[in-house]
Amino acid sequence: MNIKLIKVLLCLFLISALVSCKQNIVATLEPIGILDSNRNSAEMPIDTLVNEESSSTTSSSPSHPYSTPTEESLREIKLSLIDNESAGKISPITKIPLSKYYGRITKIAFSSDSKILAAITEDGILIIIRLNWTSGSSLVDDFIIDTYSIGESRLRDIAFSPDNHLVAIAGPSSRLTLFSGVTGEILASYQSDYYPLSVVFTEDGSKLALGSSEGVIELWSIYLPYPILEIANEPWKLGVCDLAVSPDGSLLAAGFCDYNMLTWDIHQNYVEYKRVVGTDHWECFSHCPGPTHDITFHPDGDALISGTDRNFNLPLIDIDSGRLVHAYDTNRVESWVDPDSGEERIVGIESGSVNALAFNSDGSILAISTSYELQVLDTSSGKISFLKLYEAGDYDVELSLSPNGYLLATSHDKNVIQLWGVQTESNIIDAATSSPLVDVTPVIDRFLHVANYEEALSAFESPDTQYLNKIIEPNQTYIMETHEPLLWGSEWCAKTPELLNQNLFSITTWLHANGNWIDPFLYVSQFHGGDESTNPKFCRGIYVLIDSWPVGMTCLEIHRSISETINDGWSDHEAGKTNLRYCVDAK
């Protein structure tokens, strides 16, 4: 056979094989996996890119994982309003699994008409979920999901305009991005001089307030490429963690990294109105969003509440008078029977940091998401009407309550958005097809008790307190003959206050006991860790006072992550993670 003919046939065979291979690969890709680097992916839905690519290589497009189901599979869910009378009947409605390739969801939010649920992730993905309401109270589970790539870094906050035509996103980096809520197109991208953490629309939708890690709030007009006003106040040095606008549109509120809040009169050109003191401290202990995760107005507009990394006594504070209206406690008390002694004991259960909260329209219920739990409280009594415990690994739960009052949405680390609601009696999901709630009765086989804030602060200030970190070195075991209280935690020091603030912005610290996360009760702001004249050290710390120990071995761990190389004035610290382990063997 002619050699040239053989080469031609061989080339045709290889080309055919490559085309077939490409078809198979494209047909199995997740939507996020096939962005075309030659196109502006920030302006195109990821799913559009996938479908265009696949249609050019195969005669039939691959099945979209979130495509609208056939008419036979549609399920109409009839719902009742979630209020203080019905909250005890909350049940899972449906789960919306998202791609495993997405980063962790950082925020979720409903549009004001409850027809869109939006989510943003730490790796720059915007997710738009369009809900199908057949009537005011009936939902059909044929959700349409679009995903958009905005950048490669963390998206911090998301807000809908009052008319739902616009979606604003704080991030990535120092950008403020404006989307069309109808088409998903990028309408504008503004460059801020600061690092944005929070964003909110004003009542008429023509302006945006952007809160930054530097403590400055910028006011932007959606029609101008530059901010029209900057709000900066000396006592608030660092971190506008969250923003909110009052229901009547008259006040702008900001939650800061020192747990306090401040309001401005929007109708009086943003003149400072009232400071709302959430704590007696006036310094930031760490950078946002660590301390204050969420602030929200009471539906009456006369009081503010904040959710923070302190998981006790959420304060609802009257804005004009500064009076504490109510303190909602997310920690619980449960009884259990000691299997050895048969004695009944009362144990305090800590719910973890409060990540998000929301009132319903009449303020009769308060929905709260914590690191470990979803709680719905009756605001008149403060009692828990509904409780969902999350399994190990489901942390950083976000929450949003639909403005029409029928749906509660949560998201967690496993990239699943869960919808909750109160179904009508004739429409309850069969138990075999629904996700059963976890039994709320705690299984406690080891009794480790962490003291409250006042006790921990008293111990910190006492010269007689023993520090576990000073009794033993990391990776050693302390044998405890008598069960004395010990203070334990993590400190970071630098040569100057300026270096300390810079260092802490790049450091994240977690405390664990026997593999379970502990919410520190005591945050100590700047203190001197050395001789002030010869060797000054400026330090900040997080601590827990453990005043009751279980018999046997308890191991405590400090997990510290440094995002970039930092210098404390004495030496460099490379980016990376370190774990320090301290064990106590109580006899």
Out of 427, 460, 490, pick the residue that ends a domain. Answer: 427
Residue 584 CA to residue 544 CA, distance in Å, equals 15
Of 27-41, 76-90, 321-335, 418-432, the range with the lowest mean pLDDT is: 27-41
pLDDT tens string 212-251: 888 889 999 988 889 999 987 654 456 888 899 999 999 9
- Which among 316, 322, 321 is positioned nearest to 297, based on CA atoms? 316
Flag whether 439 is in a domain: no
Side chain identity, residue 178: L
Residue ranges making up the domain that contains 192:
80-427
- Check whether residue 456 and residue 423 sit in a common domain: no
Flag whether 441 is in a domain: no
For 239, how many CA atoms within 13 A lie in the half-sphere containing its CB? 24
C-alpha dist (Å) from residue 450 to 171, 371, 398, 519, 543: 37, 17, 26, 9, 10
Residue 142: both structure tokens together: 């044929």
The structural domain count of the chain equals 3
- Check whether residue 189 and residue 298 sit in a common domain: yes
- Check whether residue 104 and residue 210 sit in a common domain: yes
C-alpha dist (Å) from residue 26 to 18, 47, 59, 553: 12, 12, 12, 52
- Check whether residue 498 and residue 532 sit in a common domain: yes
Residue 239 CA to residue 229 CA, distance in Å, equals 18
Return the pLDDT at 200.
Answer: 96
Flag whether 384 is in a domain: yes
Residue 373 confidence class, pLDDT cut points 50, 70, 90 = confident
- Which among 431, 464, 456, 441 is positioned nearest to 547, based on CA atoms? 456
- Check whether residue 98 and residue 43 sit in a common domain: no
- Check whether residue 421 and residue 477 sit in a common domain: no
Out of 427, 460, 487, pick the residue that ends a domain. Answer: 427
By the 8 A CB rule, do 203 and 245 touch? Answer: yes
pLDDT tens string 76-118: 889 999 998 999 899 888 888 787 778 888 899 999 999 999 9
Of 240-244, 273-277, 447-451, 473-477, the range with the lowest mean pLDDT is: 447-451
- Check whether residue 281 and residue 139 sit in a common domain: yes
- Check whether residue 417 and residue 470 sit in a common domain: no
DSSP assigned state of 571 = -
Residue 544 CA to residue 459 CA, distance in Å, equals 10
Flag whether 62 is in a domain: no
Summary mean pLDDT of the chain: 75
Residue 541 CA to residue 472 CA, distance in Å, equals 18
CA 364-366-372 angle, to 5 degrees, is 155
Give me the CATH number covering residue 236: 2.130.10.10
- Which among 111, 78, 79, 81 is positioned nearest to 405, based on CA atoms? 81
Q: Strand 91-97 relative to strand 416-423: parallel, antiparallel, unpaired?
A: antiparallel
Phi, psi for 254 (deg, rounded to 5): -130, 140
- Check whether residue 335 and residue 257 sit in a common domain: yes
C-alpha dist (Å) from residue 508 to 111, 154, 287, 393: 32, 15, 9, 18
- Check whether residue 411 and residue 518 sit in a common domain: no
- Check whether residue 104 and residue 217 sit in a common domain: yes
Flag whether 432 is in a domain: no
Flag whether 66 is in a domain: no
- Check whether residue 387 and residue 492 sit in a common domain: no
By the 8 A CB rule, do 190 and 219 touch? Answer: no
Residue 308 CA to residue 288 CA, distance in Å, equals 10
Produce one character per residue of 536-573: b if its CB has 16 or more CB atoms within 10 Å, e if not: bbbbbbbbbbbbebbeeebebbbbbebeeebebeeeeb
- Which among 469, 341, 388, 323 is positioned nearest to 87, based on CA atoms? 388
Full-model pTM: 0.62
By the 8 A CB rule, do 420 and 90 touch? Answer: yes
Flag whether 368 is in a domain: yes
Flag whether 443 is in a domain: no
Out of 358, 392, 427, pick the residue that ends a domain. Answer: 427
